[in-house]
A and B are shown apart, each in its own frame.
Chain A
Amino acid sequence: MKISEKDVEHVARLARLTLEPADLTIMTGQMDALLGYVEKLNELDTEGVEPMAHAVPMSNAFRDDEMKPPIGIERALQNAPAAAAGCFKVPKIIE
């Protein structure tokens, strides 16, 4: 096993997911299988191959520093679960 239940718990917490113990066991098995599958790539000899950050052979897509009209406060807040005074309203979180 490359992945332990503890790893899955940790990742779940980072993703703000609550997993039932039964799910945790299933997930651990599935994630381990996934990693095992991808692990096969390590058999390739990549000596001398430049690491790449992107799958397409392109670079430098820019925009000029020119203003575009915003979508407007009303539309910006259209999907907000709660809104007040032009703002998204969320439970208070202070870290």
Chain B
Amino acid sequence: MNSRYEVVIGLEVHVQLTTKTKIFCGCSTGFGQSPNSQTCPVCLGLPGALPVLNRQVVDDAIKAGLATNCQIAPDSIFARKNYFYPDLPKGYQISQFELPICEHGWLDIETEGSGKKRLGITRIHMEEDAGKLLHNEDNSSSVDLNRACTPLLEVVSEPDMRSSEEAIAYLKQLHQIVVYLGICDGNLEEGSFRCDANVSIRPWGQKELGTRSELKNLNSFRYIKQAIEYEVERQIDVIDAGEKVVQETRLFDPDAGVSRSMRGKEEAHDYRYFPDPDLLPLQVSADWVEQVRSSLPELSAAKLQRYQDEMGLPVYDAGVISADRQLAEYFEALVEQYNQPKICSNWVMGEVLGALKEKNLTIDQCPVSPELLAGILQRIDDNTISGKIAKTVFEEIWQNGKTADQVIEEKGLKQVTDTGEIEAIVAAVIAANPGQVAEYRAGKEKLMGFFVGQVMQASKGKANPGMANALLKKKLTEM
């Protein structure tokens, strides 16, 4: 990335879980409700209210840990992180500090710049989210505590990334994993997957890390990349000017493409973590871990491999389809009904994704189910329709949800395989194009495509192309 300095990046990702209720109380985690309508004494931080841990959060944390190759701690505890801020009603956040639930994991990434690389995950811990602040015109802020106590996993990486490209590859993979696991909806804009980046630079060969700055407010992969690259350049300028990088938090402004310092870190942060006496220690047995392990879905990396090894898909097809769990499930359901993976992937990536994109729909909203699509492909196989007519059938099914057989029947799309009928059309086409016939017979064999096209057109696409081709060839050479 730079010839004089090595870039060092570590990432902290906050993953908002999709549990129905908050981590320590039974209030809903639903998004976009009236302010403070989803609150109770626990998440309001009223004195005497006691938090009780949501078991689902632990299940989700174990899932995330297993999917990122972490060790699941048999004993872990919750801690209080103490600081004052208006969105934090108790004056402390319940988090994990010593003894987090997952440690020592890793993810493998692959980038153009550095090939295959294993990136360490230091830890994953459970914690509660804070509320939301809205800043008013009159120098006041409004506090909405609906989000307070919403369950989060904080995934902390090792400072193993050496470029923004590696950072993005790591984030995309982590994002794919938590969405695949069904523990996070993955919505970056709504803050379900939030990233802070710790960025520093050091001269090549230096062992100690440089002073880092922490970048916040990164809510799209593009901004994260921009923010990291901006920060690297900024730090190089600071060092080249003979100054020192200060440890600080910086807020990235995507509109201006620059970051601003929020505060120096050394003075403000003294969280005085200590074990939360309100929450009992958490013990996760080996049985519990195994139970969760057996419930894990096959992840994208495994699918990517299997689609290539067992189904013979090209790496590109396998990559596109395995990237999205629902798309992969659609594809697998299709292959189950019609066991020709490459034809299936062609249709899924071509017609299905094309139509979804055009209509701005997601795969779970696709009106043509895998069963209906398999019905079309079977009719191509048994020569009832041509591949071209199949696309018309697909569009019809998209509109009305009928089966391929119904559409073919109702629209009269059955392929003409009656020799006599095709012969008649062939004869008519030959009679109508004497000029081309002469050219063809004079050796311009490329014109065969033209004749087949004419026959297909005259039959409204219903003539069997293979038969049309053969009959044309026969007639034209017999003449």
Chain A contacts to B: CB under 8 angstroms: 10, 14, 16, 53-56, 58-68, 70-73, 76-77, 79, 82, 84-95
A-B Cβ contacts below 8 A, count:
129
Question: SS class of chain B's interface: helix, strand, loop or mixed?
Answer: loop
A-B contact pairs, 9 of them (CB 8 A): A14-B272, A54-B275, A54-B280, A62-B54, A62-B58, A64-B56, A67-B26, A68-B21, A95-B262
B36 A77 Cβ-Cβ under 8 A: yes
Query: Among the listed stretches B142-150, B154-162, B167-175, B235-243, which one makes contact with chain A, having 4 or more residues with CB under 8 Å of it?
Result: B142-150
Whether a CB of chain A sits under 8 angstroms from the CB of B41 is yes
A67 B52 Cβ-Cβ under 8 A: no
Q: Which residue of A lies closest to B151 (CB)?
A: A65
On chain B, the residues within 8 Å of A79 by CB distance are 46
A68 B27 Cβ-Cβ under 8 A: yes
Q: Which of B21, B38, B141, B268 contacts A91 (CB 8 A)?
A: B141
Q: How far is the CA of A79 from the CA of B44 in the complex (A)?
A: 11
- Most chain B Cβ neighbours within 10 Å, of A10, A62, A72: A62
On chain B, the residues within 8 Å of A62 by CB distance are 52-55, 58
On chain B, the residues within 8 Å of A66 by CB distance are 20-21, 26
B275 A53 Cβ-Cβ under 8 A: yes
Q: How far is the CA of A46 from the CA of B57 in the complex (A)?
A: 35
**Which B234-292 residues have C-beta < 8 A from chain A?**
262-263, 268, 270, 272, 275, 277, 279-283
A70 B37 Cβ-Cβ under 8 A: yes
On chain B, the residues within 8 Å of A87 by CB distance are 35-36, 134, 142-144
Q: Which residue of A lies closest to B89 (CB)?
A: A88
Q: How far is the CA of A54 from the CA of B99 in the complex (A)?
A: 13
Smallest CB separation, B52 vs chain A (Å)? 5
Smallest CB separation, B60 vs chain A (Å)? 10
B54 A14 Cβ-Cβ under 8 A: no
Chain B contacts to A: CB under 8 angstroms: 19-21, 25-28, 34-41, 44, 46, 52-56, 58, 77, 82, 84-86, 99, 134-136, 139-145, 262-263, 268, 270, 272, 275, 277, 279-283
On chain A, the residues within 8 Å of B34 by CB distance are 73, 86
Question: SS class of chain A's interface: helix, strand, loop or mixed?
Answer: loop
Q: Which residue of B lies closest to A56 (CB)?
A: B280
Q: How far is the CA of A76 from the CA of B25 in the complex (A)?
A: 15
On chain A, the residues within 8 Å of B141 by CB distance are 89-93
Q: How far is the CA of A55 from the CA of B77 in the complex (A)?
A: 13
In the complex, besides A14-B270, A71-B40, A79-B46, 4 extra interface pairs with C-beta distance below 8 angstroms are: A73-B34, A73-B39, A87-B35, A90-B86
B53 A63 Cβ-Cβ under 8 A: yes
Smallest CB separation, B41 vs chain A (Å)? 7
A92 B140 Cβ-Cβ under 8 A: yes
Q: How far is the CA of A70 from the CA of B279 in the complex (A)?
A: 22
B35 A61 Cβ-Cβ under 8 A: no
Q: How far is the CA of A56 from the CA of B277 in the complex (A)?
A: 10
A63 B281 Cβ-Cβ under 8 A: no
Q: How far is the CA of A68 from the CA of B139 in the complex (A)?
A: 35
B282 A60 Cβ-Cβ under 8 A: yes
Q: How far is the CA of A19 from the CA of B41 in the complex (A)?
A: 32
Smallest CB separation, B96 vs chain A (Å)? 11
